[in-house]
Amino acid sequence: MAVKKETVLYYTPEKSTEDQKMKGVLVRLGIRIRNISPEQTNQKVGYLAGIPGFEESKETEEQLPVIPERMLVLCGFGERRLSEMLLQFRRAKVPPVPIKAVLTEKNCSWTLYKLYQELRMEHEAMSSGNSAEHTEDGTE
């Protein structure tokens, strides 16, 4: 799975002022932004990220799955650049986006909606303190 350049897949159900703050930071850092529309929620993440071998799904669904909140998928980032981007978001007072993931070999074959469902479940588990991966003191 080769990602040529750091890219953020950015999904939002509706435009807001936060979009411009976030995109401003990404542009200053030289990070490519790929806007994902609500009509693309049934596409594979690998296709949306431009990974060779992933083709556009031509399947038409009566009703596309709805993702009701902002979501980021980070592609091609090293640990240092990821930390730098998140720091710059905080400095620019970009509101946190709780639903975010790094593109992996596993999730690139999922639809954006399936990835959203997985991230939403993980976020709810961690927020409620029921995460199996964490102990009571917050360590893994």
pLDDT tens digit string along 1-28? 555 689 999 999 888 888 899 999 999 9
- Dig out the tokens for 2 from the structure: 């080769």
Closest CA to 112 of 73, 69, 85: 73
Exposure b/e, 71-87, CB count within 10 A at least 16 = b: bbbbbbbeeeeeeebee
| pLDDT at res. 104 | 94
| pLDDT at res. 108 | 95
DSSP 8-state secondary structure symbol assigned to residue 111: B
| pLDDT at res. 85 | 96
| pLDDT at res. 140 | 37
Q: In the sheet where 71-75 sits, what is the strand order?
A: 32-36, 7-11, 71-75, 100-102
Q: Is the pLDDT of residue 59 over 80?
A: no
Global pTM exceeds 0.95: no
- Identity of the amino acid at 56: E
Q: Is 57 left (phi over 0), alpha (psi -120 to 50) or beta?
A: beta
User: What is the spatial distance between Cα 34 and Cα 13, in angstroms, rounded to a whole number?
Assistant: 14
| pLDDT at res. 55 | 93
pLDDT tens digit string along 84-135? 999 999 999 999 999 999 999 999 999 999 999 999 999 888 888 754 444 3
Sort 117 into a burial class: Cβ within 10 Å, 0-12 / 13-18 / 19+: middle
| pLDDT at res. 139 | 38
- Count Cβ atoms below 10 Å from residue 13 Cβ, excluding itself: 14
